[in-house]
Chains A and B, each alone.
Chain A
Amino acid sequence: MDENTLDGNAIGGLLDEVFGADMTMAVSTCGSCGAVSVVAELAVYRPGLGTVVRCRSCDSVLMVFVSLHGATCTDLMGLASLS
């Protein structure tokens, strides 16, 4: 876990923009290891071009968001569930 790692709180605004509701309290299940976590506790990296959300247990990529010209491309393939 490096020093620049944020958590799901930091992307509450982005997630609200994508999902239309507060998602920080939503519960995610990792598609790789099955770890269950509230979104607020997930590891978040924002290297500049986009946002990468990883599982804290196995470090798998759960979600990727890339925003360009006002549109946000979303990849949720790493999640088994989000509710």
Chain B
Amino acid sequence: MAGTAVRGRLTWQTATVGRVTRETASAVTLSLSVPDWPGHRAGQHVDIRLTADDGYQAERAYSIASAPGEPLAITVERLDDGEVSPYLTEEARPGDQLEVRGPIGGYFVWEAETGGPLLLAAGGSGVVPLRAILRYRSLVGSSVPVRLLYSSRSWEDVIYSSELDMPEYGVEVIHTLTRSQPPKWHGYARRVDQKMLTEVAWPAADRPLAYVCGPTSFVESVAAGLVGLGYPAGKVKTERFGATGQ
């Protein structure tokens, strides 16, 4: 097929850290420059590998935070007992080099042609691939209606808060703050439950598509809740981060 690039085998490549942006006390966005980056799709991730002086290697998967067409960026939340995230969130500086493999994944991906309406549900840093979807929707001028239900411990833990404060036309952002709330908070203040999903999620009759990302317990509970509301299981795409102390 003319114009169709045949993708080579995934290999580890050297990435150079560019801009470092602190999002919250524990989360940082790193822009990464990778020679010959083939481009990515909204919702994909990369593997990052660090090698210690003694040769010990640790690798972890991180969602891509930037839209297709934008420079590669990841947002990383620090896990105190993590092997990779403490370096990425506290030590990494512009010019540092690390190993990257990607882009990875074809399942937790949204293309403009896929349509909607979209229900995006994020627990903590599970918002990262969903932000890539939102930015991509904006870049391609899609008018697909979107609701983002975003669960954070407190307002200070909300990643991309200034961006999410001014959503594009057709995008609604609904926060729930599970642990502490600012004064005069009128929004949700509890874990996502069935009542909240009933209030926030598009009715199943609208034939919505859902993307749920976050800690495993969050994803299990939200996905089961959506299926309970009549969403076909095949229309609820999930990505689990494991236990993150959320």
Q: Which residues of A contact B (CB under 8 A)?
A: 1-10, 12-13, 16-17, 20, 22, 24-25, 38-41
B242 touches A3 (CB 8 A): yes
What are 18 A-B contacts defined by CB distance under 8 Å? A3-B216, A3-B217, A4-B242, A6-B240, A9-B240, A12-B45, A12-B61, A12-B105, A13-B47, A13-B59, A13-B61, A13-B102, A13-B104, A16-B9, A17-B10, A39-B107, A40-B237, A41-B107
A22 touches B215 (CB 8 A): no
- Does B101 belong to the interface (CB within 8 Å)? yes
Q: A6-B240, A7-B240 are in contact. Are A20 and B9 (CB under 8 A)?
A: yes
Contacts of B241 on A, CB cut-off 8 Å?
6
Interface centre among A10, A12, A16, A22, by most chain B C-beta atoms within 10 angstroms, is A12
Contact with A along B69-110 (1 / 0, CB 8 A): 000000000000000000000000000000001101111100
Contacts of A9 on B, CB cut-off 8 Å?
45, 61, 105, 107-108, 239-240
- Nearest Cβ in chain A — how far from B61, in angstroms? 5
Bound complex: CA A65 to CA B181 (Å)? 44
Bound complex: CA A4 to CA B45 (Å)? 19
A22 touches B9 (CB 8 A): no
- Does B238 belong to the interface (CB within 8 Å)? yes
Interface centre among B10, B220, B243, by most chain A C-beta atoms within 10 angstroms, is B10
Contact with A along B45-69 (1 / 0, CB 8 A): 1110000000000010100000000
Q: A3-B215, A16-B9 are in contact. Are A10 and B102 (CB under 8 A)?
A: no
B238 touches A41 (CB 8 A): yes
Contacts of B237 on A, CB cut-off 8 Å?
40
A4 touches B216 (CB 8 A): yes
Q: Which of A6, A17, A40, A41 contacts B105 (CB 8 A)?
A: A40
Q: Which of B10, B238, B239 contacts A16 (CB 8 A)?
A: B10
Bound complex: CA A16 to CA B47 (Å)? 12
Which residues of chain B (219-246) have a CB below 8 Å from chain A?
Answer: 220, 237-243
B104 touches A7 (CB 8 A): no
Contacts of B238 on A, CB cut-off 8 Å?
7, 41
Q: Which of A1, A8, A12, A13 contacts B220 (CB 8 A)?
A: A1
Q: A13-B10, A13-B47, A13-B101 are in contact. Are A6 and B106 (CB under 8 A)?
A: no
- Nearest Cβ in chain A — how far from B13, in angstroms? 12
4 closest pairs, A vs B, by CB?
A: A40-B107, A3-B243, A12-B104, A13-B47
Q: Closest residue of chain B to A25, judged by CB?
A: B106
Contacts of A4 on B, CB cut-off 8 Å?
216, 242-243
- Nearest Cβ in chain A — how far from B84, in angstroms? 13
Contacts of A2 on B, CB cut-off 8 Å?
216
